[in-house]
């Protein structure tokens, strides 16, 4: 038996909608969620975004047009999502994805509020757009 790392929710189907820049996921309790790539990227479970405590969370700006380059299963408990901006760290457990879907409205509003409070934008700056993207192990 493989460990599920405490996941209470388990997917029955996962669909990457590259053209629509979204991930659709159906869970075993009948819930289905459509998660925009931008939300997945700015709420990445990586230490780069989340830090090592809630006070260290980074507000990621300029990702309105980010897309999903690839999705890889990690055991039977998570996904590794590679984004077209080169970000590829953080394991999206089934419970993390479920929470993003179930609380999407609140999470999204908190993100917009954090951007506004920091004077940041969802659009990429001219400087960021001109500089080369980091390339993780997404290929």
Q: Which tokens sit at 99?
A: 């929470």
Mean pLDDT of the chain: 89
Which of 3, 7, 14, 108 has the alpha carbon at shortest distance from 70?
Answer: 14
Cα 62 from Cα 101, distance rounded (Å): 22
Are 35 and 25 in contact by the 8 Å Cβ rule? The answer is yes
Whole-prediction pTM: 0.87
Reported as a single tens digit per residue, the pLDDT across 69-87 is 999 999 999 999 999 999 9
Phi (first) and psi of residue 7, to 5 degrees: -60, 125
pLDDT tens column, 23-67: 999 999 999 999 999 999 999 999 999 988 888 999 999 999 999
Task: Report residue 137's pLDDT band, with 50, 70 and 90 as the boundaries.
Answer: low
* Secondary structure of residue 39 in the 3-state scheme: helix
């Amino acid at each position: 038996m493989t460990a599920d790392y405490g996941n209470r929710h388990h997917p029955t189907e996962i669909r990457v909608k590259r053209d629509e820049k979204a991930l659709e996921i159906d869970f075993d309790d009948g819930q289905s969620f459509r998660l925009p790539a931008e939300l997945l990227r700015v709420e990445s479970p990586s230490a780069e975004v989340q830090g090592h405590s809630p006070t260290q969370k980074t507000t990621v700006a300029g990702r309105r047009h980010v897309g999903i380059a690839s999705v890889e299963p990690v055991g039977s408990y998570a996904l590794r999502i590679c984004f077209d901006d080169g970000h590829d760290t953080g394991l999206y457990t089934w419970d993390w994805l479920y929470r993003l879907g179930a609380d999407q409205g609140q999470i999204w509003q908190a993100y917009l509020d954090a951007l506004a409070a920091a004077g940041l934008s969802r659009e990429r700056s001219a400087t960021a757009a001109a500089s080369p993207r980091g390339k993780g192990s997404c290929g």
